[in-house]
C-alpha cells in the first residue's frame, strides 16, 4: 500500500496557511496545521474540508518558539505513526499598521526592540526550531522537503511611499516595521544553509517568495502598490497553490537552496 505523505504547516490559522493545506490535500497529502489560536485553526480546518471533501486534516495548538512543546508534538505524532515528509514554515508576525490619522508608527528611530525580538522569535527562531526537530526526523529517514514562506520583502526593501494616500514619502507617518524585513531576509539565509547542510540526507529546502496578497487592505494602498507591479494587480490567496505543489513534490526534484519568486513582476523593477 502506498504511504500517505504528511505535510506540517505552521501558522495554519492565517491567510495562506489553509491555502497551502488545500494545495497539498488536493494531491492526497495528510495535512497538519499548527497555530496558537484554536478558533482560527478550526476555521481553517473547515475551509479545507469544504473544498477537499476527503481531506485528512489534523490541527494542534503549539507554540513554535517553544522547543519543548515542539518535541512534545513530534512525540505525539510518532505515537500515531505519523512522520513529517514536508515542513512548511509559514508562521510569521506581521504587525498591523496604524490608521493614517493616528500619530506615527514603525519609525526606526523609536522602534520597540521588544517587538523586534518577538518578530524574530517567531519567524526565524520558530522556523529554525521546526527545522531542527522535524528536519532531523527527515534526515534520519533520508528524505524530505522544507519550504520557507518568505516575501518579496525578503529580497527588496519596502517602498514606504505606498503607505500614504498621496503616494509621497514626505507624507508617510506609518512605516512597514523593520522587523518584518529582517525576519523574511533571515529565512533566505536559513533556506540556503539547510539546503547545503542536509543535501546529503536527501532533504531539499527552498523558499517561496510571494508578492502582496489581497486581504481587505485600504483601497489607496491597493492602488499604490498595484502601480508598482507590472501585472497591475495584487495576488489572490489561491494563486500560490500550484507553487506549493511544485515545491513539495518530485516536480522540483532537482531544486534546492533556491527562491521561487511569484510577485506579478514587482521585484523585476
What tens-digit pLDDT sequence spans the chain (269 residues)? 678 999 999 999 999 999 999 999 999 999 999 999 999 999 999 999 999 999 999 999 999 999 999 999 999 999 999 999 999 999 998 766 555 456 678 999 989 999 999 999 999 999 999 999 999 999 999 999 999 999 999 999 999 999 999 999 999 999 999 999 999 999 999 999 999 999 999 999 999 999 999 999 999 999 999 999 999 999 999 999 999 999 999 999 999 999 999 999 999 98
Predicted local confidence at residue 199, as pLDDT: 98
Predicted local confidence at residue 97, as pLDDT: 59
- Decide if 243 is inside a domain: yes
Predicted local confidence at residue 135, as pLDDT: 98
With CA atoms as reference, report the closest residue to 230 among 269, 260, 257, 256. Answer: 269
Predicted local confidence at residue 96, as pLDDT: 64
- Decide if 164 is inside a domain: no
Predicted local confidence at residue 48, as pLDDT: 98
- Decide if 45 is inside a domain: yes
- Decide if 103 is inside a domain: no
- Decide if 81 is inside a domain: yes
Strand order across the 57-61 sheet = 57-61, 30-35, 6-10, 86-89, 144-149, 203-210, 259-262
Total tally of structural domains belonging to the chain: 1
Residue 154 is given by DSSP the state G
- Decide if 60 is inside a domain: yes
d(CA 237, CA 155): 21
- Decide if 206 is inside a domain: yes
Residue 129's domain spans which residues? 6-95+113-156+178-213+237-264
Tell me if 86 sits within 8 A of 31, measured CB to CB: no
9 forms beta bridges with 33, 88
Q: The CATH number of the domain where 249 resides is what?
A: 3.40.50.720
d(CA 88, CA 23): 12
Q: How many Cβ atoms are within 10 Å of 142's Cβ, its own excluded?
A: 11
- Decide if 194 is inside a domain: yes
Amino acid at each position: 500500500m502506498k504511504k500517505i505523505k504528511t505535510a506540517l504547516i505552521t501558522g495554519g490559522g492565517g491567510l495562506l496557511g489553509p491555502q497551502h493545506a488545500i494545495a497539498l490535500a488536493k494531491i492526497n497529502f495528510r495535512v497538519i496545521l499548527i497555530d496558537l489560536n484554536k478558533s482560527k485553526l478550526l476555521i481553517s480546518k473547515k475551509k479545507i474540508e469544504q473544498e477537499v471533501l476527503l481531506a485528512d486534516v489534523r490541527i494542534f495548538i503549539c507554540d513554535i518558539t517553544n522547543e519543548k512543546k515542539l518535541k512534545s508534538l513530534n512525540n505525539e505524532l510518532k505515537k500515531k505513526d505519523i512522520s513529517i515528509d514536508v515542513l512548511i514554515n509559514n508562521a510569521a508576525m506581521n504587525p498591523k499598521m496604524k490608521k493614517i490619522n493616528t500619530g506615527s508608527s514603525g519609525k526606526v528611530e523609536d522602534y520597540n526592540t521588544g517587538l523586534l525580538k518577538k518578530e524574530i522569535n517567531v519567524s526565524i527562531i520558530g522556523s529554525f526550531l521546526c527545522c531542527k526537530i522535524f528536519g532531523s526526523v527527515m534526515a534520519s529517514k533520508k528524505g524530505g522537503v522544507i519550504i520557507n514562506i518568505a516575501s518579496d520583502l525578503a529580497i527588496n526593501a519596502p517602498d514606504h511611499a505606498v503607505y500614504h494616500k498621496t503616494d509621497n514619502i514626505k507624507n508617510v507617518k506609518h512605516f512597514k516595521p523593520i522587523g518584518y524585513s529582517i525576519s523574511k531576509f533571515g529565512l533566505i539565509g536559513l533556506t540556503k544553509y539547510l539546503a547545503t547542510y542536509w543535501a546529503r540526507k536527501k532533504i531539499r529546502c527552498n523558499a517561496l517568495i510571494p508578492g502582496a496578497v489581497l486581504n481587505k487592505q485600504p483601497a489607496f494602498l491597493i492602488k499604490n502598490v498595484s502601480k508598482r507591479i507590472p501585472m497591475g494587480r495584487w495576488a489572490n490567496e489561491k494563486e500560490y497553490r500550484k507553487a506549493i505543489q511544485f515545491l513539495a513534490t518530485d516536480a522540483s526534484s532537482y531544486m534546492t537552496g533556491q527562491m521561487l519568486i511569484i510577485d506579478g513582476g514587482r521585484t523585476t523593477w
